[in-house]
Chain A
Amino acid sequence: QQQVKQSPQSLIVQKGGISIINCAYENTAFDYFPWYQQFPGKGPALLIAIRPDVSEKKEGRFTISFNKSAKQFSLHIMDSQPGDSATYFCAASNDYKLSFGAGTTVTVRA
Chain B
Amino acid sequence: ETGVTQSPTHLIKTRGQQVTLRCSSQSGHNTVSWYQQALGQGPQFIFQYYREEENGRGNFPPRFSGLQFPNYSSELNVNALELDDSALYLCASSQGGLGLDTQYFGPGTRLTVL
Residues of A that sit less than 8 Å from B by CB: 6, 32, 34, 36, 41-46, 49, 89, 91, 93-103
Contacts and interface: CB of A to CB of B under 8 A. Distances in A.
A97 B43 contact: no
Interface of B: 4, 33, 35, 40-45, 48, 55-56, 58, 90, 92, 98-100, 102-108
A78 B45 CA distance: 31
A8 to B, nearest CB: 14
Contacts of A93: 100
A46 B42 contact: no
Given A89-B42, A95-B56, A103-B42, A43 B90 contact: yes
Contacts of B43: 44, 89, 98, 100
Nearest to B44: A100
